Amino acid sequence: MRILGVDCGTEYTGFGVVEQTGDGELRCVAAGAIRLLPREPMPRRLERIFSELSQVIATHRPELVAIEDVFYAVNVKSALKLGQVRGVAMLAAAASGLEVCEYAPLAIKSAVVGYGRAEKSQVQQMVTRLLRLAEVPESPDAADALAIAICHLHTASTLARQPSATHHPGD
């Protein structure tokens, strides 16, 4: 299974493609950050996010996109801008025919570090360890995006191991 994690931001939007092999091993396929210039008009920044994420999807062919849910913003204006970035990231996924799953920051940190209130540096260190990277990803936004992808893979494999609660008539 191959997942694209996206960490939306109005200055940097991180992306990370993580693959889980048949034996459960996690592997980093790609990671980076889309730098948005504050002096550029918002429509131009949004177009750049759409274009670059669409390119990442076309190149690395993930099966699903995982994205962080909005939980906090400094003010209403920041929340609206972040919402626009998230919408464009979701559009890039949907335009490529991919499903989008959203995860709360606490869920992401819990899945990766085992503690929902972990510091950013702890998340980065665990991402580095889980993916067996030679060094911590250069961009904290890319590390966060990798963490989001890992969260989905851990969540999906946990759900897959649980017996189905579906009741079939006649059982």
Q: Which residues are catalytic?
A: 7, 68, 141
At which residue do the structure tokens 């966060």 appear?
144
> How many Cβ atoms from other residues are within 10 Å of residue 5's Cβ?
31
Contacts of 136 (CB under 8 A, 6+ apart): 124, 125, 127, 128, 143
At which residue do the structure tokens 């709360």 appear?
104
> Phi and psi of 119, rounded to 5°?
-75, 160
76-95 vs 42-60: helix crossing angle, rounded to 10: 40
Compute the distance between CA of residue 143 and CA of residue 130 in angstroms, rounded to an integer.
Answer: 12
> Phi and psi of 153, rounded to 5°?
-60, -40
The C-alpha angle with vertex 93 and arms to 87 and 99, in degrees rounded to 5, equals 105
